[in-house]
Amino acid sequence: MRLLSVGTKMAHWVITGTEHYSRRIEREMSFSLVEIPLAKRVKNQPPAIGKAREAAAFLSQIKPDDYVVALDVKGRSLSTAQLADKLREFRMSGKDLALLIGGPDGLDDDCLGRANECWSLSKLTLPHPLVRVLVMEQLYRAISIINGHPYHRE
């Protein structure tokens, strides 16, 4: 499983959170965080230009047989239990999972088009650094459900 996320210069709390959950996830399954550089934004330039540059970087990191999930506000909402079921399915399929987190302007249509599924964490607009930590915590929580670990409580 790989989490591909825009942003390379994160606040200390993001780094601490991602390292914390990365260590926990890696004990249970193969996991890596791939940071995609934030495309430079220029005044009076449409956001689509930056998103397109980020999309090229995302797509270069995705293998043809990866199962790709784009995180997007318009995606399908899952409960933590449903996420655990999805992770079970991915383990059984033998496919590699690539989760995409866009930058401040979201994901480009090329990324959304490549995605096998789109998931939403919330109808709220969330800052991409927070989404990174939140997704990693939910992945760990789902893995703990799969393994019968008491981290998750109903």
The string of pLDDT tens digits covering residues 107-138 is: 999 999 999 999 999 988 888 899 999 999 99
Query: Which residue is listed with tokens 């459900």?
Result: 145
Phi first, then psi, for residue 43 (nearest 5°) are -55, 140
- Answer yes or no: are the C-beta atoms of 37 and 4 closer than 8 Å: no
- Give 39-53 pLDDT, tens digit per residue: 988 888 888 999 999
Q: What average pLDDT does this structure show over 16-44?
A: 93
Distance CA 107, CA 128 (A): 11
Domain boundaries, the chain: 2-146
Q: What is the pTM of this model?
A: 0.91
Distance CA 1, CA 26 (A): 10
- Architecture label for domain 2-146: 3-Layer(aba) Sandwich (3.40)
- In the structure encoding, which two tokens stand for residue 6, read together? 């825009």
Distance CA 102, CA 84 (A): 23
Distance CA 62, CA 64 (A): 7
Distance CA 38, CA 7 (A): 5
Query: pLDDT category, 153, cuts 50, 70, 90?
Result: low
